[in-house]
Amino acid sequence: MKIHQFFVAVVAMAVIIAGSNYLVQFPVHATIGAVQLADLLTYAAFTFPVAFLVTDLTNRLFGAAAARKVVFAGFAIAVLVSIILASPRIAIASGSAFLISQLMDVSIFDKLRSGQWWRAPLISSMVGAVVDTFIFFSFAFAASFSFLGAGLDFAVQPAPLLGVLAVEAPRWVSWALGDLMVKVTMALVLLAPYGLLWRRLDRVVGKTSVA
């Protein structure tokens, strides 16, 4: 992996993570039927899954070792930028969730790379999304992790679970479940650009794909 290719991947990763850390503080204020999306989603749910696309493309084109380097470099830059754009607690939660989920994504992808082209990115992204969601929302908003810093009062207020159920839970629980549903959907949607970009970039970098 050449230095300019590494730089592009790291910048893309840092922009995605820093942007997501900022957007996670803003619920989606819209209504679908009786469902208040502010009780279900933040805008980060639509941006963060692209990080798995960057990781998986790097892994496919340059191998697991290169993908891990991009993850570590993107993690360091994103945390620094996130401290400016978001609260320290959000930065800690995001950094922890990002590093663990992305490294897991790299390992799973590497084990599945010899199968059908869609299996590695889909399964690794799905598992990574579950891990990322659980760690991030727990660290960022759960009362049991308040020692990490001040949270959002809006996030811990009780609200109908998923915006429609009679059972109430802290609003961040619904955010986590809604976020996970969007990430799973995005993992499926991003398969198309992954396949297209992989084939085009493989020709551009002038090497045979690792797969």
pLDDT digits (tens, 9 = 90+) for 160-203: 787 677 788 888 888 888 889 988 998 999 999 999 998 888 87
Q: What is the CA radius of gyration of the chain?
A: 17
Predicted confidence band of residue 80 (pLDDT cuts 50, 70, 90)? confident
Which of residues 82 and 73 earns the better pLDDT score? 73
In our burial notation (b when 16+ CB lie closer than 10 A, e otherwise), range 142-159 reads beebeebeebbeebbeeb
Task: Tell whether the model's pLDDT for residue 209 goes beyond 50.
Answer: no
Task: Tell whether the model's pLDDT for residue 211 goes beyond 50.
Answer: no
Predicted confidence band of residue 206 (pLDDT cuts 50, 70, 90)? low
Residues in the chain, how many? Answer: 211
DSSP notation for 44-93 = HHHHTTHHHHHHHHHHHHH-HHHHHHHHHHHHHHHHHHHHHHS-HHHHHH
**Which pLDDT does position 94 carry in this prediction?**
82
**Which pLDDT does position 210 carry in this prediction?**
44
Three-class HEC string of 92-151: HHHHHHHHHHHHHHHHHHHHHCCCCCCHHHHHHHHHHHHHHHHHHHHHHHCHHHHHHCCC
Tens digit of each residue's pLDDT (9 = 90 or more) over 22-40:
887 788 888 777 667 776 7
Task: Tell whether the model's pLDDT for residue 69 goes beyond 80.
Answer: yes
Predicted confidence band of residue 102 (pLDDT cuts 50, 70, 90)? very high
**CATH 1.10.1760 assigned to 3-204:** yes
**Which pLDDT does position 34 carry in this prediction?**
67
Among residues 100, 114, 82, 130, which one has the least CA distance to residue 209?
114
Tens digit of each residue's pLDDT (9 = 90 or more) over 110-134:
999 998 999 999 999 999 999 999 9
